[in-house]
Each structure stands twice: as structure tokens, then as C-alpha cells.
Structure 1
Amino acid sequence: MTFDGLMELLGEERFTALGGLLIGAAFGALAQRSRFCLRASTLEVAHGRFGGRLAVWLLAFSTALIATQGLILLGWFDTGNVRQLNNPGSLSGAIIGGLMFGCGMTLTRACASRMLVLSANGNLRALLSGLVFAVAAQASTRGLLAPARTAVNDLWTIGSAQRDLLALAGVGHGGALLFALGWLAAGAALVRRNRVSAWASLGAMGVGLTIAAAWWFTWRAAASAFEPVSVHSLSFTAPSADFLMLVLSPPGARWTFDTGLIPGVFLGSFLAGLAGGDLKLEGFKDGSSMTRYITGGCLMGFGSVLAGGCAVGAGVSGASIFVLTAWLVLWSMWIGAVLTDVLVDRPSQGGTTFTLQEVSR
């Protein structure tokens, strides 16, 4: 059955939600098996290592860029209706929000997507942090923190034309593809150097492919649907906040791609964890650690709304279409995460002790 025929059979809302569920499930399973996480990568770099977790992140990142730019070159996706490239942006929000998110993900020991993946495997620390993240994101979007978010975003804004990094650099999508291939080569070199397993490598590349798949699916759905469909890729800030409100509000809300995304990621991670024997209940060891995770969740929620996306939404999805503010967010997240490790974690640990177990949490 054709794409349009299946949409007509299921109805536009159910069809787009089903797409979010399936792509989300693929992301959840692949992220769980590959241990994909921006925080883990930054921690390795902060401790002077270029290890396996960085290799996994680079493979996912570069694959997302290559696949997305390939879709554009083939005419199977265009950015004409993508919000990030057709609306003004905030440089102040990108920088400050990125720094806050980076700080928060170091405190919670996971980025936003990783928290959802770990929650499905029984990690109660990640579950609480994720709930706090969603509440803070909702408060920053439409609630008590919205005026503060607006004030910071208004400090330094740019027009939509200034957000297109490819246009600013004077290169086309072919140049972007070559640039991405360079990152893929770096990731492949680290895979070989650190003897990353083939399954982890393929899982990481699969994570990148889900980013491109989401771009294609929402773009294709928008072209066929009568009702407006937002063209976007994977992100966990607005979807987490919206899913929380969907659960708390009376029935009747409109189904979207994001409606299926969050439960899809949870389901995919749970099934992958079940298959791999990774399901295990984990809690807090004391009250101070709970304070740390709650603080981190708040910083991530407010910071990601400021920045216009999380480590996946801005750091990978936005970067895959070369949005200037997304790349600025990504670098700010790295800086914020490294500074928090240096200024907070190392002094509390009495040095620079570093283990693979700490990276994996």
C-alpha cells in the first residue's frame, strides 16, 4: 500500500502518530544497544580520552548529517517548511541554554534522550530526572518560567536568513555532505582504535538514520495531509512536555508525530533491554544525589527550551540541516558539560578519577 493510501486508511492523525511510534521505537532500541549519549562523550573528552563512547556519538552524528543531506540532494526532502530555517532565532538563547543544558546533563549523568532510554530499563534516577525535565520544559514554554525564557531569548536575536549556515559559508549540500564524511571518517578511526563492537557501531549509525527518517516522514506527511503537519525530526524537549500534559489532561488532544515518539522510544528501549538482559531497578543512594538529579533536570528543561532543542533535537537534528543556532547550541552543551565536570564533579571526587562505569550511567 502506498504512503498516501495508508494515511487515508488510518486517518492523518493516527498515521503520523504511528510514524512517530515506529521511528521512536527504532531510536530507543538502537540507542539502548549502542549506549548513544552526548554526556558520555563529553565526559570522555573532559578526561582526555577519545574512547568508544565518543566514537559511538560521532558515528550517529555523522550518519545523521550524511543521510539528511543525501535526502535533500536526491529531492526526497527539502527544508522549505522547516521552522528553524524560516523563523528568527536567538543566539543568546542558544549559548545560555546550551550551557545550562550541558551543566544539567552532567549533573543527571545523561542527556534527555538517554534519560528516557534508561528509564525504560528500570533506572529510577533517570525517570525522576526525566519527569523534572518535562515539567521544567513545560513551565518554560507556557508557564511560570516563560517570561524569563523570553527575556533571555530577546537579548540577541538574528533573522531567519542568518540561521542558514550553508548559505553563510557559501557552500551547498554537496559541500555539507563532504564535511559530514570527514566526521564519519573520524568516528570510524575511533571505532577501530577503541575496538568498538560491530553491533554498537551499527546501532550508532542506525540512530543517525532515524534522524533522517523522521525528517523524511514528517516532510512527506506534510505534503499529503489536509491538516498542517510540522516538519521536524527527533527532539525530546517539546515532545516530553506535551506528552506529560497529554497524560494529565482530559482525553481528546490531537494526535501528532510527537504523540507516538515518547512511548515509542520507551518501548524500543524496553524491548532492547529485555533482549539484552539489561533490565534492572536502580535508585538513589542518598538525599544529596537526589538533589543533584532534580537540579540537573531543571537546568536541562529550562536550558533546552531556551536553546530550541535538546542534545538530539538541536545537537543532531538541527545540526543535520546546518542551522547556525543548532551548531552553537551543540558546542555550548559540550562546554557546559566539561566545565561542570571540572568545577563540580572532580572536586567532589577528590581528583580526576574516571571509570567506564561512570560514563555508562
Structure 2
Amino acid sequence: MESLVDAVGGPTATAIGGIVIGIIFGYFAQRSRFCLRAAAIEFSRGQLGEKLAIWFIVFSTAVIGTQGLILLDEMSVNEARQLALPGSLSGALVGGLLFGSGMILARGCSSRMLVLSANGNLRSLLTGLVFAVVAQSSLRGLLSPVRSDIAGWWLLSPADLPILHLTGWGPLGGILIGCITLAGALWIARQHTIAHKVWLGAAVVGATVPLAWYFTFTVAGLSFDPIQTEALSFSGPSADTLMLVLSQPVPEMDFDVGLIPGVFLGSFLAAYFARELKLEGFSGGHSMKRYIVGAAFMGFGGMLAGGCAVGAGVTGGSIFTITAWTTLFMMWVGAGLTDLVVDRKQWVLQSL
């Protein structure tokens, strides 16, 4: 890795790493059908199904890998933005709820939309573009003041964010939580006779999170340029990628620049080799409105919460920040409530 940094410089090296790790994530996310929305629907309907098992395998692998590297003193995440900057608990509560609701309406979270877009799903392509536009507006545009106001309702200092430090559990406690979660997920996978290649693919998806943490941390230590220690996220990177396409001829190299096209390429290759490339569109105007509203909820909610289903839910969750775990919890709540009211309204009316 030192030779790579010496040859191309730290920023370009992180962009190359983003492409490679993105390809791995995209390929195996496509093959394993990794999706928080599908997992949340199964859970809200009282089902311990395949999608729930896949999500928890991804999550627990990310936790075990990240905390294992920290325990072995192979890396530190203290400079990651999730821990080094003040966190917004109000943003996590409201943003997580909006994001969870949005991913039900749009039938997929931001990472899932990117994966499906590469397979020829035009619904996901349009939804992803709307998501990126609203995310950019929430970050630096018209919606930015609203986001800032809500985020300012309840702020936490960096010292109040790390759960494992505050509880005294440390990395060993994080690894234990990850192992318990993984054992439960594998039990569910066995009950549903999920093929080994599927849950192993999910484990690879989860492993890309500690891989990204380790890669960016290592490059930061080797580079003379300031490099952010980070892992996978799709809200901010999607917004920045959109602006690069529209306005900046020469992008500033970083991990996020490579991640989005890498994931797209990885998913495309997976679908190509499996012969699953297929153009799909909307069935009618009503469904299009639903997808657009859902994308807008996710775009604003993701930027308000400081991350998407992967960025906050898995990446932030792997380093046990209070804001990330709050965001993840609220995503499950928002998804369950929206599924109940929108997609199971007949059941609600019958119950009343």
C-alpha cells in the first residue's frame, strides 16, 4: 500500500480503494440480495425470514471485523467524523424515521437503488437521481437551513457519542455483541436453508466495512495529504457524485469518488454473469409518485441523520456511536409503521 501511495498520492490512492471496495460490495450485495427494507418488512410482519438473516449477517460481520481490528490495534477510528464531530440526536431521531419511511415507499434504500440501477431497473435509477438531488439540496442547497435547524435541536459532544467507551465494554464487548447477532442470523439462515454462497456473500458485504475503515486509516497514515478515515456511506457520496457529473470537470480525489461508480460496476458485473440484466420501468403514474416521495424522504432523512441504511446503520453501527444506533433504530420504526399504514392498510381496516 505504501508503494501505491508513493506512486499516485494519498487522495488518488483512496479513490482507487473506493473503486475496488465498491466493486466488491456491489457484486456481493447483488448476489446476496442485501436490503434493509426487505429485512424491516419481515421483522415488522413477525417473520424471521431470509432477508432478515442476510441483513444481520452483514451487520454482525461489519461489527466483528471493525472491533477486531481496533482490539488488535491495527487501526483507530477516533478521527472518523462519526466520533470526532458533535452528533445530532434530534437529527438521528427525525432523519432515521424519515429514511425508514422513505425506503418502504421507494421499495429500497439508497444502496439497494444503486445496485438495482446497474441491473437495468429504471425505477431505481430515477429514484436514485431524486434521492441524490434532495440529498444535495439538504447538504448545501435550499433544504440546508431546515436540516441545520432540526439537527440543532439536540446536539451531543464527541465525548458523549462512543457507546462502548461510555459503558466500559470496549472492543471485546462489541465483538461479543457481533458474535451473538451472527449466531442468531446463521440460525435463521439454517432454518430457511439459505444456500451457503448466499450467506457467505452477505458476510463479504459486511467485511467491506472494516476493510474500508482499515484502508482509509492506513492511507491516512502514509499520506502527506489530509485523508479522512471513513468507510461505506451513500447519502453524501451520492450527492457529491451528482454534482461532479453536473458541474466539476476535475473532481477532488477521495474514497467517495470511487465508491459510487465501483458499486455500480460491481452490481452490473454480478447481474451480467448471472444473466439478470433486464430493463424494468414503472407500471403507472401512482407508483412513480410513491417512489419519488420515498426518494425525497430518504434524501433529506439521510443527510439529517448523518448517514443512510449503510452509512449510519452498518458503518456507524460498527463503531457503536449513539447517533448511528439511534438512526438505525428509527429506520426500523419508520419502515415498520409505513409498511403497516401504506402496504397493509387493508389489514389495519379489518383489525379496526
> Is the pair's TM-score, using the shorter chain for normalization, greater than 0.5?
yes
Q: CA offsets per residue over residues 76-134 of structure 1, 9 Å max, x none?
A: 11122111112111110000000000000000110110000000001111111110010
Deviation at 1:44, TM superposition (A): 0.7
Instruction: Please list every run of at least 4 consecutive aligned residues from structure 1 whose deviation after the TM superposition is greater than 4 angstroms.
Output: none
Q: Unpaired runs of 5+ in structure 1?
A: 353-361
**Aligned equivalent of 1:24:** 22
**Aligned equivalent of 1:46:** 44
Q: Unpaired runs of 5+ in structure 2?
A: none
**Aligned equivalent of 1:127:** 125
What amino acid is aligned across from residue 198 of structure 2 in structure 1? Answer: A
**Aligned equivalent of 1:357:** none
Q: Work out whether residues 11 and 227 of structure 2, in 8 Å CA contact, stay in contact via their aligned partners in 1.
A: no
Structure 2 counterparts to residues 150-189 of structure 1, below 5 A: 150-189=148-187
Deviation at 1:351, TM superposition (A): 3.6
**Aligned equivalent of 1:325:** 323
Q: Work out whether residues 220 and 227 of structure 2, in 8 Å CA contact, stay in contact via their aligned partners in 1.
A: yes
Aligned length: 348
* Equivalent position SS for 1:318: helix
**Aligned equivalent of 1:9:** 7
**Aligned equivalent of 1:107:** 105
What amino acid is aligned across from residue 254 of structure 1 in structure 2? Answer: E
What amino acid is aligned across from residue 227 of structure 2 in structure 1? Answer: V
Structure 2 counterparts to residues 109-258 of structure 1, below 5 A: 109-258=107-256
* Equivalent position SS for 2:327: helix
**Aligned equivalent of 2:96:** 98
**Aligned equivalent of 1:275:** 273
Distance in 2 between residues matched to 1:176 and 1:341, nearest whole Å: 31
Could you tell me which of 256, 260, 263 is aligned with 1:262? 260
Distance in 2 between residues matched to 1:80 and 1:119, nearest whole Å: 34
Distance in 1 between residues matched to 2:21 and 2:162, nearest whole Å: 27
Aligned-pair RMSD on alpha carbons? 0.9
Q: CA offsets per residue over residues 256-302 of structure 1, 9 Å max, x none?
A: 11101000000000000011111111100001110000000000000
Q: Work out whether residues 10 and 227 of structure 2, in 8 Å CA contact, stay in contact via their aligned partners in 1.
A: no
Distance in 1 between residues matched to 2:275 and 2:150, nearest whole Å: 45
Distance in 2 between residues matched to 1:268 and 1:5, nearest whole Å: 25
* Equivalent position SS for 2:344: helix
Distance in 1 between residues matched to 2:8 and 2:273, nearest whole Å: 31
* Equivalent position SS for 1:336: helix
Distance in 2 between residues matched to 1:18 and 1:53, nearest whole Å: 31
Give aligned-pair identity as a percent.
54
Matched, 1:66 2:64: yes
Q: CA offsets per residue over residues 46-71 of structure 1, 9 Å max, x none?
A: 22111000000010100000000111
**Aligned equivalent of 2:313:** 315
Distance in 2 between residues matched to 1:56 and 1:137, nearest whole Å: 27
Deviation at 1:11, TM superposition (A): 2.8
Distance in 1 between residues matched to 2:298 and 2:152, nearest whole Å: 20
**Aligned equivalent of 2:87:** 89
Q: CA offsets per residue over residues 207-232 of structure 1, 9 Å max, x none?
A: 01001100001111111111111111
Distance in 1 between residues matched to 2:4 and 2:285, nearest whole Å: 51
Q: CA offsets per residue over residues 169-223 of structure 1, 9 Å max, x none?
A: 2211111111111001111100101111111101100001001100001111111
**Aligned equivalent of 1:358:** none
Distance in 1 between residues matched to 2:342 and 2:25, nearest whole Å: 31
Q: TM-score, normalised by structure 2?
A: 0.97
Deviation at 1:10, TM superposition (A): 2.4
